A and B are shown apart, each in its own frame.
Chain A
Amino acid sequence: MSFISIKIKGIILFFLIISCALTILLLENIYKRKEELNNKYSDLIKVTEEDTDPEKWGINWPKQYDSYKLNAEDTRTRFGGHGGSEALPEQKIERDPWLKRLFKGYSFSIDYRDRRGHAYMLQDQEQTLRQTKPQTGSCLHCHASVMPLYRELGDGDAMLGFEKTHKFSYNEINEMLHESGHGHPVSCVDCHDPKTMKLRVTRPGFINGIQKLAESETELPQFPSIERWIESNDSNPYDPNVHATQNEMRSFVCAQCHVEYYCASEMPLEFPWENGLKVEEIEEYWSEKKFPNGNEFYDYIHEESGAKIFKAQHPEFELWSQGIHARSGVACADCHMPYQRDGASKVSDHWVRSPLLNINNACQTCHQIDESEILARVDIIQDRNHKLLQQAGQALMDLLDAIQIAKNSGIKELELTKVFELQGKAQWRLDFIAAENSMGFHAPQEAARILGEAIDYARQGQSIALSMVIQIDQVMNFENKDKIFCDSTIKIIEKWINIVD
């Protein structure tokens, strides 16, 4: 080897040492990946039903907790969320002034903003200007980790405690919550069994609601376990924690809150699913509903017209259940909390957010097409829904104008009963889609059908109100032959011309 110069030998030695180092690095990397697989989590601390503080759970499940903490991030998509530099999300009632007029006589006309992440659910509810009107303790069913308080109020029985809370004011229940140390937004214990980490539902409103839904006549192909329960003639009521499949639970945990409900002080919080989940089935349920004192059910009286109105909350679960994704067995968590890979292990993303911010994990697992193409397709669906929504909003405004003209012409409220009924039907449908947080995406055809009906009912009401005004005009002008129409009729004709324009 003496013919090789010392310099070359030095270089060979250098590369050999580098190779050794790289081999060790690679070994270390493989070791790490193998370990990731073996240690899914470390059981460092015992968690119980009383542990509403997510930080404690985070000691055992740091990966899930890391992504859960991201729920405090600002995120925005074209139609929702909060991503600006301002402290609070944009006012919806200022962006779409028809919303403000829709809610006249109801506290949503005071303050109604875009949503923020789960981390803000309690804080935003405590601070909303709607709190200037008295609010009920029922609201905390969904805005806090409230189960220990329910058990405390019901002496161990959460259902009993829950049934008491509507009688308390929001501030009373909120104070009890913070005093008992459970003043946290939705937390681990709300969806996971602390002993087994199995998914479970805890909220009394949902447990009662889904039980009624299972007993209803409606077809539910999207929920195979309910169909199986019906066929088995089980004498026990349907219990999601016993009967539902794991895949259904990945939607049910979200449906504990992302639904339509009654939430005020007259009676306990209630999910209206006795006839089914469709918009008209829920409407039918509310129309037949009576308050405990025997009075007819409604959410508020419209300040301008005097019509009795049902307010739609945020029926994400109901609208999703009518769409193709539900029908195909795609759960809420599949798109909003998709699996993400962490080294060699698989963790479901606990940063609950719009799938549009996470296209590759949320959509491309099933739809193997370009990210830009997926975004474009979603945008088409949402844009169409947005246009139809604005059109329905305009139809409602025209109806309210017509009612105003009718009232000014001296038509009495009693004579306008049919028009009020149509306003209620139109507004319920418009609100159902406007309040729902997907801009129609959860079930695009169903959303379009509902908005179509809203426009139809609003225009029907408008034409009835206006023809009543014209009839009155004709009677009034019978003696006054010089003027063909009086002022109010001229206003209507001008209005119609505007619509045609």
Chain B
Amino acid sequence: MILKYKIELLIIIIVGILLGMLIYLFKYANGASYLSSDPNACINCHIMEPQFDSWQKSSHHSSASCVDCHLPHETIKKWIAKAENGFLHSKAFTLQNFHEPIMIKDKNKNILQKNCIQCHDSMTDDITNNHYPIKNDCLHCHSSVGHSNQIGMGKFTKELK
């Protein structure tokens, strides 16, 4: 009887091993943190540390975290964007083959632009609804609101003494 189902048994055992490994992998790689909105999850791999640091020095750090600007606000779109970026980022980090310094892509820039307008709608209504077709995005001029200009070492100015 046992001999008859030998291959089935093997499959079940290996499925068990694989599942066990995947659960451990999920825990070891802090998988749960990526399901949260905690900004610390974004620096798990340390690549975005300068961006994280400069966000802390920016005017938006008290009102908006990473996901508030970088992911859509609608639930389904949010999880699609999260999954897509998550896959691309982990692929890039595992294969170590990405452009440095990292730069935002057009797709994510559009998400960002929509979020600027969504939060600041009362202020931007006049601009978006009426006279002006928007060629430049908000960040073209307001580049330092989310990440302050001083990334990395920065200037140690006199005012800081």
CB pair A228 B21 closer than 8 Å: no
Interface residues of B, CB < 8 Å — how many?
A: 34
Q: Which residues of A contact B22 (CB under 8 A)?
A: 23
Q: Which of B7-15, B64-72, B122-130 contacts A (4 or more CB under 8 A)?
A: B7-15
Q: Which residues of A contact B158 (CB under 8 A)?
A: 224, 227-228
- Which residues of A in the span 1-33 have a Cβ within 8 Å of any Cβ on B? 1, 6, 9-10, 12-13, 16-17, 19-20, 23-24, 26-27, 29-31, 33
A164 to B5, CA, bound (A): 91
CB pair B156 A245 closer than 8 Å: yes
Q: Which residues of A contact B21 (CB under 8 A)?
A: 20, 23-24, 27
CB pair B103 A368 closer than 8 Å: yes
CB pair B45 A33 closer than 8 Å: yes
CB pair B152 A23 closer than 8 Å: no
* Number of residue pairs A-B, CB distance < 8 angstroms: 88
Q: Which residues of A contact B15 (CB under 8 A)?
A: 16
CB pair A20 B153 closer than 8 Å: no
A344 CB-CB contact with B under 8 Å: yes
A135 CB-CB contact with B under 8 Å: no
B117 CB-CB contact with A under 8 Å: no
Which one, B28, B100, B103, B154, contacts A341 given CB within 8 A?
B100
Q: Which of A173-181, A358-366, A377-385 contacts B (4 or more CB under 8 A)?
A: A358-366
Q: Which residues of B contact A19 (CB under 8 A)?
A: 18
CB pair A27 B47 closer than 8 Å: no
A156 to B76, CA, bound (A): 72
B25 CB-CB contact with A under 8 Å: yes
B151 CB-CB contact with A under 8 Å: yes
A339 to B17, CA, bound (A): 41
Using CB atoms, name the residue of chain B closest to A344.
B46
B107 CB-CB contact with A under 8 Å: no
A interface, size bucket: 35 or more
Given contacts A13-B14, A16-B11, A37-B46, contact A343 B96 (CB under 8 A): yes
A354 to B67, CA, bound (A): 38
CB pair A16 B157 closer than 8 Å: no
A334 to B15, CA, bound (A): 51
Min C-beta distance of A100 to chain B, whole Å = 42
Max count, chain B CB within 10 A of own CB: residue among A6, A16, A225: A16
Using CB atoms, name the residue of chain B closest to A29.
B94
The 8 A CB mask of A224-249 against B (1 = contact, 0 = none) is 11011000000000000000011110
Min C-beta distance of A320 to chain B, whole Å = 15
Q: Which residues of B contact A10 (CB under 8 A)?
A: 7
B88 CB-CB contact with A under 8 Å: no
CB pair A247 B18 closer than 8 Å: no
Using CB atoms, name the residue of chain A closest to B158.
A224
A246 to B156, CA, bound (A): 9
Given contacts A9-B11, A364-B101, contact A247 B25 (CB under 8 A): no
B29 CB-CB contact with A under 8 Å: yes
A89 CB-CB contact with B under 8 Å: no
B155 CB-CB contact with A under 8 Å: yes
Top 8 A-B pairs ranked by shortest CB distance?
A: A329-B155, A16-B14, A245-B156, A23-B21, A365-B101, A224-B158, A9-B7, A344-B46
Partner-A contacts on B (CB < 8 A): 5, 7-8, 10-11, 14-15, 17-18, 21-22, 24-25, 28-29, 45-47, 93-94, 96, 99-101, 103, 151-158, 161
20 CB contacts below 8 A, A to B, read A1-B5, A17-B14, A27-B24, A27-B25, A30-B25, A31-B28, A37-B46, A227-B158, A246-B156, A329-B156, A329-B157, A334-B152, A343-B96, A344-B45, A344-B46, A360-B99, A361-B100, A361-B101, A364-B101, A364-B103
